[in-house]
Amino acid sequence: MNKIRIFVSLLMIWGITLSYAQKRDSIQFSLLTCSPGTEIYSLFGHTAIRYQNFTKSKDLVFNYGMFSFSSPNFIYRFVKGETDYQLGVNDIRSFKAEYMFRGSAVYQQVLNLTYSEKIKLQELLFTNYLPQNRVYRYNYFYDNCTTRARDQIEKCINGKIEYPASAPEKTFRVIVHEFTKGFEWEEFGIDLCLGADADKSIDIRQQMFSPFYMRSFAEKAHIKDENGGIRPLVLKEEVIVDADTIDNEDSAFPFSPVACATFFLCLNLVIAFIQIIKKKIYWIWDLFLYLSQGLAGCIIAFLFFFSIHPTVDSNWLILLFNPIPLLYLPFMIYNDIKRRKDKWHIVNSVYLTFFIVLFLLIPQEINLSVLLLALGLFFNAVSHQIVYRN
């Protein structure tokens, strides 16, 4: 009888202990990676942290990528690099429904955290979500939704996360191009803004600005405990929203930047030929041409001198696109109408010759469309000189 009582007592103690342990460690954190969408802000995918508390029936997503187009001066602040993002919290059902509607898959990597690390991460996230803490200054390479999620996970670790020791050599621009493939106009616009610093090799940590690079490195990462123990960062990966990957091969605009730049070059050749034959300058074309160049130059110059976005202050395209043509445009048009010789076109043709000849020597990857645009401007400048000479 005593043996039976002891056995029953041990069984009860074991059951109570198991129940307590399950209740005590009923929290699970996961890193969520969302596949790209078709809007320019979603081309690179997205990262969030999933928080599950099974005893309290909570299933939330902490999302550092919340912003509003309707916020005051959004466009100006975005161009200047002063965009504020914030941490938002959604329930998992609405989060999954949003990405399912968009047609984007969501991958979940369950994190291999101890109970104390989970409690610390829980406190960090809920503290971040306080009204006074949730807003942060966004930076698309160094402080975005992905790096924020990574940093919070790293802060909770009792030890250190060790990522792969080596990875293929990459630059910011190379990674950007991987996700803008098929969206040629978006890629062209980004290339116009990024400078030479975007073409420098970056290490593994810098590559983690990209959600899918973060996912890949997390999969191979290990946690080295304070006592020397090693465990994988990710327990398992699963797909929680299964959707077809967006095919980025079709652009909304039927003609690529290279095709349009080629047409621009051909149009300048035709107009130059007509001007030489008729010995007449078409000032309306000059107005359109140099107004466009000057306005594009204002954007590049603003980014170069005033924006705090990374890499834009090393943009060699400011040699071609700057506000100088816009400032000189009234004098140019006046000389065109009065049929007076204008030294601007002599200086411009020499300047463009140097730019075109040195195109391959510039320490920056420049979109081929820019060379075609420069050639178009060059032939226009040369046609003016021939007309003046005749």
What phi, psi does 236 have (nearest 5°)? -160, 160
What's the pLDDT at 91? Answer: 95
Top-ranked range on mean pLDDT: pick from 79-83, 179-183, 252-256: 179-183
Using 50, 70 and 90 to split pLDDT, how confident is the model at 201? Answer: very high
What's the pLDDT at 10? Answer: 40
What's the pLDDT at 165? Answer: 85
Residues 184 and 257 sit within 8 Å (Cβ to Cβ):
yes
User: CA–CA separation, 153 vs 161, rounded Å?
Assistant: 9
pLDDT at 248 over 60: no
Tell me the pLDDT tens digit for each residue of 282-311: 999 999 999 999 999 999 999 999 999 999
Residues pairing with 27 in the sheet: 53
DSSP letter at 143? Answer: B
User: CA–CA separation, 355 vs 347, rounded Å?
Assistant: 12
User: CA–CA separation, 134 vs 85, rounded Å?
Assistant: 8
What's the pLDDT at 366? Answer: 93
What phi, psi does 143 have (nearest 5°)? -150, 85
Tell me the pLDDT tens digit for each residue of 5-56: 544 444 444 444 434 444 456 899 999 999 998 888 789 999 999 999 999 9
What's the pLDDT at 72? Answer: 75
Tell me which residue has tokens 């309290």: 56
Tell me which residue has tokens 């030890």: 159
User: CA–CA separation, 209 vs 172, rounded Å?
Assistant: 9
Name the region of 130 (left: φ>0; alpha: ψ -120 to 50; beta: rest): beta
Count of CA atoms in the C-beta half-sphere (13 A) of 60:
16
Q: Where are the domains of the chain?
A: 2-167+207-241, 257-389
Residues 164 and 218 sit within 8 Å (Cβ to Cβ):
no
Tell me the pLDDT tens digit for each residue of 42-94: 899 999 999 999 999 999 999 999 887 667 777 788 778 888 899 999 999 99
User: CA–CA separation, 135 vs 371, rounded Å?
Assistant: 41
What's the pLDDT at 16? Answer: 40
